[in-house]
Amino acid sequence: MSSPRRNIEGRPLGACAASTSSPGSPVHGGGGGGGGGGSSSRFEFQSLLNSRTPCADPTCARLRASESPVHRRGSFPLAGTNPSQASPPLLPEEDRLDLNPSFLGIALRSLLAIDLWLSKKLGVCAGESSSWGSVRPLMKLLEISGHGIPWLLGTLYCLSRSDSWAGREVLTNLLFALLLDLLLVALIKGLVRRRRPTHNQMDMFFTLSVDKYSFPSGHATRAALVSRFILNHLVLAIPLRVLVVLWAFILGLSRVMLGRHNVTDVAFGFFLGYTQYSIVNYCWLSPYNAPFLFVLWNQQ
C-alpha cells in the first residue's frame, strides 16, 4: 500500500485542504499564526496546486480554483494544460521570493532558533523543580533589586531628603531616566508583542499590562541605564564599581535563568538601557534649562 503524498509540512495531499481550512489558514495564503507561517503557507499552496489529486467536493474544487494564482492573476497557465505553451510556469514575483528566502531572512530565523534553544537551556531556575530550582529565591531577590517600583520610590525618597543643589540635580535626572525607561520599554513591548518563554511562571510582583510581553527586558534596560548612571555620577571605589557592573550583568542573566526572557530580550535590553543613558545625558536637566522642576523640589 503506497503512502499518501504529503506536502512540505508533512500533511497528506489527498484530502482537499481548502474545504477544511479557515480563512486565515495557510491554504488560503492567510499566513495566520506565528512562527514564519508566511513562507511555508506559500510552499504548501504550490504543492496543492501541483498535486493531481482530484477533488470530489464541488465547493472544494471551486475554492481551489478561485484561490489559485492562475485564477487570481490570469497571467500564466498550469503546466501541462496546453502542450504548445509548455514553457515552465512563471511564478508570481512574491512567490518566487518566498521560495528563495533572502540571506537576511535565513540569518534572522537561525538567530531566533538559536535564541529559543539557548534560552531554554539557560532557564535552569524557571520552576522549583528545575535543575537549579533551589537558587530561584535568590534570583527573585535579584529581580526585586532591578524592579521599577523600588528604584522610583528610592529616588523620590532621596530627592525629598536631599539638601544640596548638586544632589537634587543628579536625582532629578535619575528620576527622568527611570520614567523614560518605563515609557520606552512599555512602548516597544506593546509594539513587538513577543510572548514570554513558555517555561516562564508569571509570578512577578507588581507588573503592568505590557509586562506579559518579553521584548525587551525591562530589568535589563534598567540595569544598564542605572549602572551607567551610577558609574558616571557617583564617586565610588573600584571594588564598588566592579560590584555595580556585576549586579547589572547577573541581573540580566537571571532574567533568562528564571525563564522570564529569551537571550535576545536581555541583549537588546542592555543595548537600549545603555542608549537611554546617552539620551538622558544629552537632555541633562539642570536649574538653568528646567528651573520649574528645581523650584518644585525647593518647595518640598
Residues that bind ligand LBIIBCTY (CB under 6 A): 147-149, 152, 182, 204, 206-208, 211, 217-219, 255, 260
- For residue 250, what is the DSSP state? H
If the CB atoms of residues 25 and 155 are measured against ligand LBIIBCTY, the closer one turns out to be 155
- With beta carbons less than 8 A apart as the criterion, state whether 36 and 28 touch: no
31 Cβ neighbours under 8 A, 6+ residues apart? 24, 37, 38, 41
The alpha-carbon radius of gyration of the chain (Å, integer) is: 28
> Which position among 28, 71, 219, 233 bears the catalytic label?
219
If the CB atoms of residues 118 and 204 are measured against ligand LBIIBCTY, the closer one turns out to be 204
Q: Got the DSSP string for 185-231?
A: HHHHHHHH-PBPPTT-----SS--GGGGB-SS-HHHHHHHHHHHHHH
If the CB atoms of residues 7 and 217 are measured against ligand LBIIBCTY, the closer one turns out to be 217
- How far is residue 275's CA from residue 269's CA, in Å, rounded to a whole number? 10
CB of 182 to ligand LBIIBCTY, least distance (A): 6
**CA distance to 38, 73, 155, 225, per residue, from 34 (Å):** 9, 27, 41, 32
If the CB atoms of residues 213 and 277 are measured against ligand LBIIBCTY, the closer one turns out to be 213
Residue 62 cell numbers, joined: 471551486
Count the neighbouring beta carbons within 10 Å of the beta carbon of residue 261.
30
Amino acid at 167: G
CB of 106 to ligand LBIIBCTY, least distance (A): 29
- How far is residue 191's CA from residue 140's CA, in Å, rounded to a whole number? 27
CB of 289 to ligand LBIIBCTY, least distance (A): 23
261 a catalytic residue = yes
If the CB atoms of residues 42 and 189 are measured against ligand LBIIBCTY, the closer one turns out to be 189
If the CB atoms of residues 147 and 241 are measured against ligand LBIIBCTY, the closer one turns out to be 147
233 a catalytic residue = no
CB of 76 to ligand LBIIBCTY, least distance (A): 49
- With beta carbons less than 8 A apart as the criterion, state whether 248 and 224 touch: yes
CB of 221 to ligand LBIIBCTY, least distance (A): 8
CB of 258 to ligand LBIIBCTY, least distance (A): 9
For the CA atoms of 132, 133, 137, 142, what is the dihedral angle to 10 degrees? 40
- With beta carbons less than 8 A apart as the criterion, state whether 245 and 227 touch: yes
Identify the bridge partners of residue 12 per DSSP, sorted by sequence position: 6
* Residue numbers annotated as active site: 219, 261
